[in-house]
Amino acid sequence: MWLSHEVFHKRLLLAYIELRLITRLANEQALFGNQVAAKQLLTEASALAKQIPIDPKAPAEPISTVYSHIAYSYAMLSAFAEANDFMKKINDATKRQKMAEFIDKLNQRIQQVRAEYQQSASLK
């Protein structure tokens, strides 16, 4: 079925909005400590993001923003492999670099806290 350019872009915009809402909800669930729900929402967002058609004439910004939101959400759950998968899909080099720095700093801090916890647990 062929879609007009206008209909295609309206559907694309709706998909971006839906993805943004799902990732926002996932972040809220993570903040409330419900990591299971957050991961389920991100799994749904990931599947939806993979189905979004890429329009070669469209600017890369909207899809890069979607990918960066998903990568951020995965990083907040310490799911760094998934975060890195989506980070690689970000077309905007500046955005990708900032996300890489954020993920790296977060991962380092988590490793540091784990090491401190293990050290204090072994002293008891």
The rounded distance, in Å, linking the Cα atoms of 84 and 92 is 15
Token look-up 């409330």 returns 32
How many Cα atoms sit within 13 Å of 36 on the Cβ side?
A: 0
- Which residue segment(s) compose the domain that 48 sits in? 5-123
Copy the structure tokens of residue 12. Answer: 């694309």
pTM of the model: 0.80
Count the neighbouring beta carbons within 10 Å of the beta carbon of residue 23.
Answer: 25
The rounded distance, in Å, linking the Cα atoms of 27 and 22 is 9
The rounded distance, in Å, linking the Cα atoms of 62 and 106 is 25
pLDDT per residue, tens digit, the chain (124 aa), is 566 778 877 888 888 889 999 999 999 999 999 999 999 999 999 999 888 766 666 665 677 888 898 999 999 999 999 999 999 888 888 989 999 999 999 999 999 999 999 988 887 6
Number of structural domains the chain divides into: 1
